[in-house]
Amino acid sequence: MTTRDPQATALARLAALFADETRAACLLALLDGRAWTASELARHAGVAASTLSEHLGRLVAGGLLAEERQGRHRYVRLADARVAQLVEDLAAQVAPGTAVRPRNLRESSAGSAMARGRTCYDHLAGRLGIAVTDALTARGLLQQETGFALTDAALAWFESAGIGLDRRGRRPLARACLDWTERRPHLAGVAGAALCRHALDTGWCVRIGSERAVKVTAAGERALFDLLGVQAAVLR
In angstroms, what CA-CA distances link 70 with 35, 36, 53, 81?
A: 12, 12, 16, 23
Total-model pTM: 0.74
Compute the average pLDDT of residues 183-201.
94
CA 175 vs. chain centroid, Å, equals: 13
Q: Are the C-beta atoms of 151 and 143 separated by less than 8 Å?
A: yes
CATH 1.10.10.10 spans which residues of the chain? 6-79
pLDDT at 51 over 90: yes
Which of the residue ranges 25-34, 132-141, 155-164, 188-197 would you say has the lowest mean pLDDT?
25-34
Phi-psi region of 151 (alpha: psi -120 to 50; beta: other; left: phi over 0): beta
pLDDT of res. 176 = 92
Q: Tell me: domain 6-79, CATH 3.40.50.10800, correct? A: no
pLDDT of res. 109 = 56
Compute the average pLDDT of residues 211-218.
88
In angstroms, what CA-CA distances link 54 with 36, 57, 185?
A: 16, 5, 35
pLDDT of res. 211 = 66
